[in-house]
Amino acid sequence: MVSKEIHPLEMMIVAVSRLLRNGETVATGTLSPVPAAGCLLACRTHGPDIVPLIYGDPDSRISDGLYELFGLAQRGKVDVFFLSGIQIDQCGSINLSAIGDYAKPDLRLPGGAGSNMLYALSGRTILFSMNHDRRVFVPRVDFVNAAAFDEGVPSPWRRGGMSHAVTPLCVMRFDGERKRIVLESLLPGVSLGSVVGNTGFDLGIEGRDIPEMAPPADLELALLRTEVRDRMKRIYRLFAEMLWG
Amino acid sequence: MIGFLGSDYMKIRDDLRTVRDPYSGKEYVVVPPIIPDVAVVHALKGDRFGGLTTVSSREDRLLAMAARTTIAVVEEILEPDEVLPGLQEVYVAPLHVDAVVQASGGAHPTACPGRYPVDGEHIRTYLAAAKDEAAFRGYLDHYIFEPEDHSAYLRKVGFAGYGK
């Protein structure tokens, strides 16, 4: 019998899994245990034909390094990628570089790596954040490492952009018409008030009913806590031990 | 590079320029190449001429080919005919390698895929020590400066070796 006590990270993993479609090529980058687990769960539930490209997976078949993934994305062969940020703003821009003034930052971070190219050239990008509060979800990021769309810049072209964002509280999506992030669903047991109160911008909820995501099914939980856990122990050992012992 | 326009990199990186693509006529951001003075790569196997096999999920071959000088740290030194890439490994030709250093366990406390896993306990020790200057100096003294050589370091950290 599966324990019904569900960790918020497990809720996030299930939410990520359900956003992936069968047959997609799904890539996850560095420090992305929740997307990796979500991808592995999707492979074992509704997505047997998903092609997972999990960076750091010792069982993954890759011929020559991370730049092979970059090349794949540039050629349009990565359908879904995942990004995060210490700040995420209402336009879907992410900050991975600095809090405060870039020249005199309060906090200096490792930087954006290939995020701006991958945001532009993956088929779509799902943002994730392990925290949902007003420090992360801000009206405008202090530094734009990667933008969700091109506006007012003479960019030659782009393929993709933000599709969704998954946090411990909710699933958001990118509204392509308003060019803003809007709330899509609440994770089970989370109140609308706590999402609104912890988000630093308008989530476009006026006049809309915000559903609660269906709770993880017994099968999802069982797979998560056996097969997915075992694979995660080989990829993100410390995360897997923290979550599942 | 696609994706830089519209980011704040354009404000802080004066080495980013745009050029017109002679084929499409569109403006693209270009970046200068990075040419490391020295690259240090960790390889699974190596020979005395510098032939290596490394893990395919890393950029070791790219690094070795980009750097002015490349130093390879290898788990073991074998005859050249035995340094052949296995599954999920790549071969780096001696052309790109200037020096080979034999050091089993040389990737510790990180993993050497296929040989030994990450030492999570030691990483936690490192992270705790990295929080302040005094603790970090203590870490360096204890683990880096006090051991007289690499073997002594491995004994000190309790490295269990291959097949752990």
ipTM: 0.88
Question: What gap in Å lies between CA A108 and CA A103, rounded to an integer?
Answer: 10
CB contact at 8 A, A167 and A129: yes
Select from A116, A157, A158 the Cβ nearest to the Cβ of B7: A116
The answer to whether B7 contacts A112, with C-beta atoms less than 8 Å apart, is yes
CB of A194 less than 8 A from some CB of B:
no
Q: Give per-residue pLDDT as tens, A178-228.
A: 999 999 999 999 999 999 999 999 999 999 999 999 999 999 999 999 999
Does any CB of chain A come closer than 8 Å to the CB of residue B120? yes
Give me the pLDDT at residue A75, please.
Answer: 95
Closest CA to B45 of B19, B84, B13, B8: B84
pLDDT tens readout for residues A139-167: 999 999 999 998 877 778 899 999 999 99
CA pair distance A93, A142, nearest whole angstrom: 10
**Cβ contacts of A183 within 8 Å, gap of 6 or more:** A170, A172, A195, A203, A204, A205, A208, A210
Does the pLDDT at position B161 exceed 70?
Answer: no
The residue ranges of every structural domain in chain A are 8-84+114-134+160-244
Side-chain-side CA neighbours of residue A148 (13 Å): 28
CATH topology of domain A8-84+114-134+160-244: Glutaconate Coenzyme A-transferase (3.40.1080)
Mean local confidence (pLDDT), A30-42: 97
Q: Degrees (nearest 5) of the Cα angle A14, A61, B88? A: 135
pLDDT of residue B130: 95
Q: Residue A235's closest CA among A42, A25, A36?
A: A36
* Residue B2 to residue A74, Cβ atoms within 8 A: yes
For the stretch B140-157, pLDDT in tens is 999 999 999 999 999 999
Chain A residues within an 8 Å CB radius of B120:
237-238, 241
pLDDT in tens, A74-101: 999 999 999 999 999 999 999 999 999 9
- Reply yes or no on whether the pLDDT at A2 is more than 60: no
Q: Which of B4, B8, B117 sits opposite A143 (nearest CB)?
A: B8
pLDDT in tens, B33-65: 999 999 999 999 999 999 999 988 888 999 999
Q: Are A118 and A80 in contact (CB under 8 A)?
A: no
- Residue A63's pLDDT is 81
Nearest-5° Cα angle at B111, B106 to B116: 85
Q: What is the pLDDT of residue A238?
A: 87
Of A78 and B120, more confident: A78
Of B2, B12, B90, the CB nearest to A120: B2
CB < 8 Å to B62, chain A:
64-65, 67
Determine, for residues B2 and A154 on separate chains, whether the beta-carbon distance falls below 8 Å: no
